[in-house]
Structure 1
Amino acid sequence: MELHVVIEGRKDLTGQLYGQLKDAIRSGRLAGGEQLPPTRLLAEQLGLSRKTVAEAYARLTYDQLLVGRTGIGTFVSKGMATRPAPQRTEDLAGAAVAAQWGRMATPLRHAIQDAQARFEYIGGAPSAALFPAEDWRRCMSHAMRESAKSRGFYGPAEGLPALRQAIARHIAFSRGVQCAADDVIVTAGAQQALDLVARVLVSPGSVVAIEEPGYPPMRYLLEAQGARVVGVPVDDEGIVVDAIPAGTRFIYVTPAHQFPLGMPVSQARRIALLRRAQELGAVVVEDDFDSEFRYTGRPTETLFSLDTRGTVAYVGTFSKTMSPQLRLGYLVAPPSIRDAVATAKHLTDSHTPPMQQWALARFIDDGLLVKHIRRCHAAYALRREKLIARFAGDLAPWFEVVVPAAGFHMAALCRQPVDIGLLISLARRVDVGLYPLAPFFHFTPPQEGLLMGFGAIDSLDIDPSLDRVRDILTQIA
Structure 2
Amino acid sequence: MAFHISLVGRTDLSGEIYRQIRQAILDGRLRPGERLPPTREMAAELTIARSTVTVAYESLLAEGYATSHTGAGTFVSHQFEAKRPASKSRRSTTRAIRVRGVWQTISLPAFFLRAAHFDFRPGVPDASLFPHRTWRRVVACALRSHEMAAGIYESPAGNRDLRAAIARHIGVSRSVSVSPDDVIVTNGTQQALDIIARVLLEPGDVVAVEKPGYSPPKDLFKALGARVIGVPIDSEGLVVEALPGEAKMVCVTPSHQFPLGMAMSLSRRRALLAWAERNNAVIVEDDYDSEFRFGGRPLEPLQTLDTTGRVVYVGTFSKTLLPALRLAFMVVPPSLREATCKAKFVTDWHTAIIAQAALARFIDEGAFARHIRKVSRIYSERHEMLTEGIKSNFGDYVDLVPSSTGLHIAAYARSASLHDINAIASRALELGVAIGSFPLEGKPQAGLMLGYGGIETARIDEGLKLLRRCFDERERVPRRRPKAA
Q: Same fold (TM over 0.5)?
A: yes
Residue 75 in 1 paired to residue 88 in 2?
no
Q: Give, in whole Å, the separation in 1 of the partners of 2:261 and 2:93.
A: 46
Cα distance in structure 1, aligned partners of 2:8 and 2:447: 69
| Structure 2 CA distance for partners of 1:162 and 1:446, relative to 1, 3 Å | farther
- Indicate if the aligned counterparts of 2:412 and 2:446 stay in contact, CA closer than 8 A: yes
Task: Show the counterpart of 1:190.
Answer: 189
1:263 matched to 2:265: no
**Match for residue 36 of structure 1?**
36
Show the counterpart of 1:381.
380
Structure 1 residues 415 and 128, CA, compared in 2 at 3 Å: closer, same or farther?
A: same
> Offset at 1:196?
0.3
Q: Which residue of 1 aligns with 2:129?
A: 130
- Deviation of 1:157 after TM superposition, in Å, equals 0.4
TM-score normalised over the length of structure 1: 0.91
Could you say which residue in structure 2 is the equivalent of 1:241? 240
Give the structure 1 partner of residue 15 of structure 2.
Answer: 18
Contact 1:2 1:45 in 2 (8 A): no
Q: What are the equivalent positions in structure 2 for 1:46-85 lying under 5 Å apart?
A: 46-48=46-48, 50-64=50-64, 66-68=65-67, 70=69, 73-75=74-76, 78-79=80-81, 82-85=84-87
Calculate the aligned-residue CA RMSD, in Å. Answer: 2.4
Give the CA deviation at 1:63: 4.3
- Look up the SS of the partner of 1:339 in the other structure: helix
Higher mean C-alpha deviation, range 32-41 or range 448-457:
32-41
Three-state SS of the structure 2 residue aligned to 1:448 is strand
Residue pairs, 1:209-220, within 5 angstroms: 209-220=208-219
Which residue of the partner structure matches residue 422 of structure 1? Answer: 423
DSSP 3-state at the match of 2:450: strand
Runs of 5+ consecutive residues of structure 2 not aligned to the other structure: 476-485
Q: More displaced, 308-317 or 402-411?
A: 402-411
Matches within 5 A, 1:99-248: 99-106=100-107, 109-114=109-114, 116-146=115-145, 149-248=148-247
Q: 1: distance between equivalents of 2:197 and 2:8?
A: 53
Query: Deviations for 1:409-429, whole angstroms, at most 9, x for unmatched residues?
Result: 111211233722332222222
Structure 1 residues 163 and 53, CA gap change in structure 2 (3 angstroms)? same
* Structure 2 Cα separation of the partners of residues 329 and 318 of structure 1: 6
Aligned equivalents of 1:106, 1:377: Cα separation in 2: 33
SS at match of 1:111: coil
Contact 2:162 2:357 in 1 (8 A): yes
Indicate whether 1:411 and 2:410 are aligned. Answer: yes
User: SS of the residue aligned with 2:429?
Assistant: helix
SS at match of 1:331: strand
Deviates more, 1:459-468 or 1:144-153: 144-153
What amino acid is aligned across from residue 106 of structure 1 in structure 2? S
Q: Measured at CA, do residues 385 and 69 of structure 1 come closer, stay the same or move farther in structure 2, by a change above 3 Å? A: farther
Contact 2:61 2:68 in 1 (8 A): no
Matched, 1:474 2:472: yes
Q: Which residue of 1 aligns with 2:480?
A: none
One-letter code of the match for 1:280?
N
Q: Which amino acid aligns with 1:211?
A: E
Aligned to 2:415, what secondary structure does the other structure show? coil
State TM-score, norm by structure 2: 0.90
For residue 344 of structure 1, what is the aligned residue in structure 2?
343
Distance 1:146 1:433, change over 3 A: same
Equivalent runs, 1:223-372 vs 2, <5 Å: 223-372=222-371
Displacement after TM superposition at 1:6 (Å): 4.7
Aligned with 2:144: secondary structure?
helix
Q: 2:458 aligns to what?
A: 460
CA distance in 2, matches of 1:131, 1:82: 37
SS in 2 for 1:330: strand
User: How far apart, CA to CA, are the structure 2 residues paired with 1:446 and 1:201?
Assistant: 36
- Structure 1 residue runs of 5 or longer lacking an equivalent are none
The answer to whether 1:4 aligns with 2:4 is yes
Query: How much has 1:205 moved relative to structure 2?
Result: 1.2
3-state SS, counterpart of residue 36 of structure 1: coil
Q: Distance in 1 between matches of 2:8 and 2:206?
A: 61
Q: Go from structure 1 to structure 2 and tell me whether the alpha carbon gap of 1:388 and 1:7 turns closer, same or farther (over 3 Å shift).
A: closer
Residue 58 of structure 1 deviates from its aligned partner by 1.1
Cα distance, 1:90–1:164 mapped onto 2, change above 3 Å: farther
Instruction: Provide, for residues 123-157 of structure 1, a one-character-per-residue CA deviation record: whole Å limited to 9, x for no partner.
Output: 11101111011111111111111156542111110
Please give the alpha-carbon distance, in whole angstroms, between the structure 2 residues aligned to 1:472 and 1:202.
Answer: 45
- CA deviation digits over 1:178-229, x for unaligned, max 9? 1000000000011110110011111111111110000101111111111111
